[in-house]
């Protein structure tokens, strides 16, 4: 899919809102990122698939994208830390930096 057809900035803003929202924060909805589930897990645990599945469930636009458009990967940051990145069609941002993604005009 061509980059001009995929508004990655808008997708990152949607994901930033999702990551900033705890699950069940909206009454009657399970919308929200289970980010706290990432804590206190073995560094080798395969939790990215469940995280992406929840993202696709909560954000229908992402669920409509072709498989492989959105990926997650990690980078070792010292002995006991990992940095988690979300990759959209070659553009990526770390999960920790999503708080810096600001909501703009659509």
pLDDT in tens, 32-46: 988 888 777 776 777
pLDDT in tens, 48-59: 788 889 999 999
Please tell me the pTM assigned to this model: 0.81
Q: Domains of the chain: which residue ranges?
A: 3-100
DSSP labels for the chain?
A: --GGGS-HHHHHHHHHHHHTS-TT-STT---S--GGGGTTS-TT---HHHHHHHHHHH-HHHHTSPTTSEEEEEEE-SSS-EEEEEEETTEEEEGGGGGGPPP---
């Amino acid at each position: 899919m061509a980059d001009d057809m995929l508004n990655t900035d808008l997708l990152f803003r949607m994901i930033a809102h999702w990551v900033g929202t705890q699950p069940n924060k909206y009454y009657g909805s399970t919308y929200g990122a289970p980010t706290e589930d990432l804590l206190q897990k073995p560094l080798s645990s395969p939790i990215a698939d469940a995280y992406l599945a929840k993202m696709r469930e909560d954000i229908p636009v992402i669920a409509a994208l072709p498989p492989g458009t959105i990926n997650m990967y990690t980078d070792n940051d010292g002995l006991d830390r990992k940095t988690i990145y979300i990759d959209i069609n070659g553009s990526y941002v770390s999960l920790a930096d999503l708080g810096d993604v600001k909501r703009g005009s659509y």
